Amino acid sequence: MEISTLATYHCLAFVWYFFVTYSITHVRTEERPSEVFLYGGQWKYLTVLNLVLQAVFYGVSFLADALRLIKKLRCAKCVISSRDLLFSVLAFPVSTFVCLSFWTLYTYNRELVYPKSLDGVIPLWLNHAMHTAVLPFAVLEILATPHRYPAKKKGSILLGFVAFLYISWVLWIYSVTGEWVYPLFALFSPAGLTAFFTCSLAIVISFYNFGEFLNRMIW
């Protein structure tokens, strides 16, 4: 894909994610169900954090393209390194996890992740923008341009560290409010919850490895 075309795509993707993030963070307070959006607001949900992550990634990607277009290659090289690290370690595996885990649990029992009361607050298009479109965007990014992946050990450690930070955030919210971010977590004993988090991390790391495999096969 030509740099100008790639820059246009990344710019549009950035605007899209910025718009979606703005839309979900400006749900009117009076319309919010009492059981959601309390302590931590929207920022306790992995879905919303992923939207911010994607907006940052596409913003960095557009900056890299723009620098290449104006021949600032030395600066572009540094930004491209940041872009590739963001995509490989976080943007692709987290988007894949958000999409597949959400719709799997939603199909099994939607009340565990997305209570029916949210239907009157969050429009259907916004639900799909947050939970469905993120995966096609991630796959399209792999098809659009090659990305340099870090050493597998380094990538896994970085991804594990970010996962640890989010799990710590979830546990902190529970310690303060006595309520879990997702009703699903209330079904587990402490040992079961540890196993669930460990299994989820293993799945995310497998998505990281899958992204690397796709990138290598295509490019």
Q: Give the pLDDT of residue 121.
A: 86
Give the C-alpha distances (Å, rounded to integers) separating 151 from 164, 204, 209, 218. Answer: 20, 17, 11, 19
Which pair of structure tokens corresponds to residue 51?
């939207």
- Weakest mean pLDDT among 18-22, 69-73, 146-150, 196-200: 69-73
Amino acid at 58: Y
Q: How many CB atoms lie within 10 A of CB 160?
A: 15
pLDDT 10s digits, 161-170: 999 999 999 9
Q: Give the pLDDT of residue 119.
A: 87
Closest CA to 215 of 151, 139, 134: 139
What's the whole-model pTM score?
A: 0.92
pLDDT 10s digits, 41-88: 889 999 999 999 999 999 999 999 999 888 777 888 899 999 999 999
The more confidently predicted of residues 29 and 39 is 39
Q: Give the pLDDT of residue 40.
A: 78
Residue 170 CA, distance from chain mean position: 16
